[in-house]
């Protein structure tokens, strides 16, 4: 079997160069001074100090997290009911509905996000419909609303599919047992269905929060220049101002925040399942 094992080696080398090395470069750039060569590397925390001493960056970071949390919550509130409705359908309609939810995710995100500009524009479709009722025109673009809408639109399919997966795996006999033991519909949902679907919600949160907190083209397209998030700051450090050290430091800070929030959600999940096991 050894000859087959060797087939993994080229990829091992490839991933060392193209996956591990770039991550190391980010760390190196974040902690070293600009303009040093391979021989002369100087350690520094200036990049991090710059981030935390400037209120603007901190404010942008807070806003990014806030937007990502709002997006995640909206995705759960809208996605859970739809996942539940799909899971209650006939098996054949379930397949069709899952397909319907999945198709948009195959289409370029930029294309779908750009479409919202035409809809939300001051002279756009939504305002002309509202105009028929004598409302508006309302400024939708370049607001937090537009950014959250764009993010919900792009990321909600992941939430729906995750919750649907956990709901559709659920054993019907639990529901029958609950009904036999005298639980009404609301009780069955709250005490049986909801707790059992939490793992799906958790993985949905991961799939929504992570791209939401780091997104930079949705705020750019729908928020205009006025609604800057942390991803936009990283982009400009690399592509306009050329301060790679600072850009790397910001991405590290963002990565750490993501890792911490993943950890918290996973822990919540574990606590929850432990509770369910004991009860």
Partner 1 sequence: MKKKKHILSKIFAGLMIAFFYLPILYTIVFSFNDSRSLSVFDGFSLRWYEKMFHNSDMMESVFYTIAIALLATFISTIAGTIAAIGISKSGRILKGVVEQVNNLPIMNPEIVTAIGLLMLFSSLAVSKGFTTLLLAHIMFCIPYVILSILPKLRSLDPNILDAALDLGCTPVQALVKVIVPQITSGIFAGALIAFTMSFDDFVISYFVTGNGVNNISIMIYTMSKRINPTINALSSLIIAIITAVLLILNITPIILEKRKEKKQK
74 binds partner 1 (CB under 8 A): no
23 vs 45, which CB is nearer to partner 1? 23
Among 41, 45, 85, 135, binds partner 1 (CB under 8 A): 85
5 vs 55, which CB is nearer to partner 1? 5
The footprint of partner 1 on this chain (CB under 8 A) covers a number of residues equal to: 84
**From the CB of 253, what's the least distance to partner 1, in Å?**
11
Task: List residues bridging with 32 in a β-sheet.
Answer: 43
Distance of CA 137 to the CA centre of its chain: 31
Among 75, 76, 87, 205, binds partner 1 (CB under 8 A): 87
- Contact region with partner 1 (CB under 8 A), list: 47-55, 67-75, 254-262, 267-275: 254-262
Give 77-85 contacts, CB < 8 A, sequence gap 24+.
78/152, 78/156, 79/156, 79/159, 79/160, 79/163, 79/204, 80/159, 80/163, 80/197, 80/201, 82/160, 83/159, 83/160, 83/161, 83/163, 83/164, 83/167, 83/200, 84/163, 84/167, 84/193
**From the CB of 278, what's the least distance to partner 1, in Å?**
25
86 binds partner 1 (CB under 8 A): yes
Instruction: List the interface residues with partner 1, window 34-63 (CB under 8 A).
Output: none
**From the CB of 148, what's the least distance to partner 1, in Å?**
14
The span from the CA of 150 to the CA of 216, in Å, is 12
108 vs 278, which CB is nearer to partner 1? 108
139 binds partner 1 (CB under 8 A): no
104 binds partner 1 (CB under 8 A): yes
Q: Let me know if 201 is exposed, middle or buried by CB neighbors in 10 A (0-12, 13-18, 19+).
A: buried
99 vs 278, which CB is nearer to partner 1? 99
251 binds partner 1 (CB under 8 A): yes
State which H helix or E strand residue 94 sits in.
helix 91-106
The span from the CA of 202 to the CA of 42, in Å, is 41
17 vs 181, which CB is nearer to partner 1? 17
203 binds partner 1 (CB under 8 A): no
Counting runs of H as helices and runs of E as strands, what totals does the chain give? 15, 0
- Contact region with partner 1 (CB under 8 A), list: 44-52, 53-61, 66-74, 252-260: 252-260
Place of tokens 């982009």: 235
Instruction: List the interface residues with partner 1, window 1-30 (CB under 8 A).
Output: 1, 3-12, 14-23, 25-26, 29
DSSP, res 7: G
The span from the CA of 219 to the CA of 222, in Å, is 5
Instruction: List the interface residues with partner 1, window 158-197 (CB under 8 A).
Output: 167-168, 170, 172, 175
9 vs 43, which CB is nearer to partner 1? 9
The CA angle 209-252-111, to the nearest 5 degrees, is 45
């Amino acid at each position: 079997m050894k000859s087959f094992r060797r087939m993994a080696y080229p990829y091992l080398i490839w991933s060392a160069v193209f996956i591990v090395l770039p991550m190391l470069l980010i760390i190196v750039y974040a902690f070293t001074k600009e303009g040093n060569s391979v021989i002369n590397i100087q350690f520094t925390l200036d990049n991090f100090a710059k981030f935390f001493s400037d209120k603007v960056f901190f404010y942008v970071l807070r806003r990014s997290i806030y937007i990502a949390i709002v997006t995640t919550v909206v995705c759960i509130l809208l996605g859970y009911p739809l996942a539940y409705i799909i899971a209650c359908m006939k098996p054949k309609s379930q397949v069709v509905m899952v397909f319907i939810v999945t198709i948009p995710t195959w289409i370029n995100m930029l294309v779908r996000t750009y479409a919202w500009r035409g809809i939300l524009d001051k002279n756009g479709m939504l305002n002309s419909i509202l105009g028929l009722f004598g409302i508006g025109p309302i400024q939708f673009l370049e607001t937090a609303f537009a950014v959250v809408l764009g993010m919900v639109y792009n990321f909600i399919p992941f939430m729906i599919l995750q919750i649907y997966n956990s709901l559709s795996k659920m054993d019907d006999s639990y529901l029958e047992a609950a009904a036999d033991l005298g639980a009404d519909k609301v009780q069955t949902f709250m005490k049986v269905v909801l707790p059992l679907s939490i793992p799906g919600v958790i993985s949905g949160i991961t799939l929504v929060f992570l791209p939401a907190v780091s997104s930079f083209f949705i705020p750019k397209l729908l928020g205009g220049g006025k609604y800057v998030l942390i991803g936009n700051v990283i982009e400009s450090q690399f592509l306009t101002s050329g301060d790679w050290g600072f850009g790397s430091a910001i991405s590290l800070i963002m990565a750490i925040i993501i890792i911490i929030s993943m950890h918290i959600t996973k822990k919540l999940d574990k606590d929850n399942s432990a509770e369910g096991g004991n009860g």
